[in-house]
Amino acid sequence: MSTPYLSLAVSEEKLGDNAPVLFQDGIIRGMQSAKDLGFTGVEIHIRNPGQIDEDSLLAAEKDLDIKICAVGTGLEYGLNKLSFTSDNPEIRQKTRKRFMEHIDLASKLNASVFVGLCRGTAPDYASIQPYLERFAQELLPLQEYADSKQVVLTLEPIAYYMTNLLNTVDDCLDFMARPGFEKLQLLLDTHHMFLEDKDMYGAAFDKCAGKIGHFHVSDSNRRHPGAGNVDFDKVAEKLKQIGYDRPVSLEVLPHPSGTEASRLCMEWMRRYWQIGIK
């Protein structure tokens, strides 16, 4: 089995220390920092693919020998307020258009694309079902577009305090069973799993085997492994047991600093995955 890319989140934006992105304000600088710390991949969090110079990213990947594994789209929601389930059809249309651009970028980078916070949220629990239908309707043509470009989309279960749509692994697996979403994969995140999933070190993983396209490492408090209550040794053992070989990527707060949090994460990763063997 191949070794997963050991990755961390970087962004062109300055997001501040409340955002779980370790290296901010410069993707290429972040790639350099990741490389210096022994990482073999990054995920890039961007608010507008049109602002990204893909040729310089491809050149940096080559020069630094580090892979851009995934394109994160959460900033489209957080900063640009784009949402697949907005009541405003113009916003839904903008969201669709933007995701096509993310898929185009990901296709050039041979990366996956996250479907996370841009699902939006229903106004109350009673209206979850119609909003989920709307989400599925909006996502279906994008799934087809991604399939045509051989780009993997990954759907993330996200905890209740950020959205009421698709909180658990089971919610996402049910959603993925709809016709047309056969190639949709999961983006599991330990922070959200800790809050939402029963038996997070057992059944929650077992039922996802073969369906996880990307993996976020983040403790219960969104900090590095060991800072909170997640048992990351159990997590690593489980990932190995189910044969997971896609990226293992840090989405943690830059506390006490991006470098220090990344270094502590790397200590955990090194115990489980041999770096440099693909």
| Cα angle 20, 198, 190; round to 5 | 20
With CA atoms as reference, report the closest residue to 249 among 121, 168, 156.
Answer: 156
Burial-class residue 108 by CB neighbours within 10 Å (0-12, 13-18, 19+): middle
Q: How far is the CB of 204 from ligand LER (least distance, A)?
A: 16
Applying CB under 6 A, does 120 fall inside the site for ligand LER? no
Residue type, 225: P
Under 8 Å between Cβ of 117 and 167:
no
Helix (H) or strand (E) holding 76: helix 74-78
Question: DSSP letters of 117-132?
Answer: GGG---SSGGGHHHHH
Applying CB under 6 A, does 158 fall inside the site for ligand LER? yes
Applying CB under 5 A, does 216 fall inside the site for Mn ion? yes
Residue 165, token pair as written in the block: 């749509």
Closest CB to ligand LER among residues 114, 268: 114
Q: How far is the CB of 32 from ligand LER (least distance, A)?
A: 23
Q: How far is the CB of 156 from ligand LER (least distance, A)?
A: 5
Q: Work out which of 58, 64, 91, 162 binds ligand LER, going by CB under 6 A.
A: 162
Under 8 Å between Cβ of 54 and 108:
yes
**Is 12 a residue of the active site?**
no
Applying CB under 6 A, does 117 fall inside the site for ligand LER? yes
Residue 20 touches which of ligand LER, Mn ion, none (Cβ within 5-8 Å per kind): ligand LER
**Is 133 a residue of the active site?**
no
Under 8 Å between Cβ of 157 and 114:
no
Applying CB under 6 A, does 251 fall inside the site for ligand LER? yes
What one-character DSSP code corresponds to residue 12? S
Q: How far is the CB of 15 from Mn ion (least distance, A)?
A: 14
Under 8 Å between Cβ of 43 and 247:
yes
Choose, from 12, 13, 43, 156, the residue flagged as catalytic: 156
Applying CB under 6 A, does 189 fall inside the site for ligand LER? yes
Applying CB under 6 A, does 13 fall inside the site for ligand LER? no
Judged by the rule CB under 5 A, the positions of this chain that interact with Mn ion are 189, 216, 251
Judged by the rule CB under 6 A, the positions of this chain that interact with ligand LER are 20, 74, 114, 116-117, 156, 158, 162, 189, 216, 251
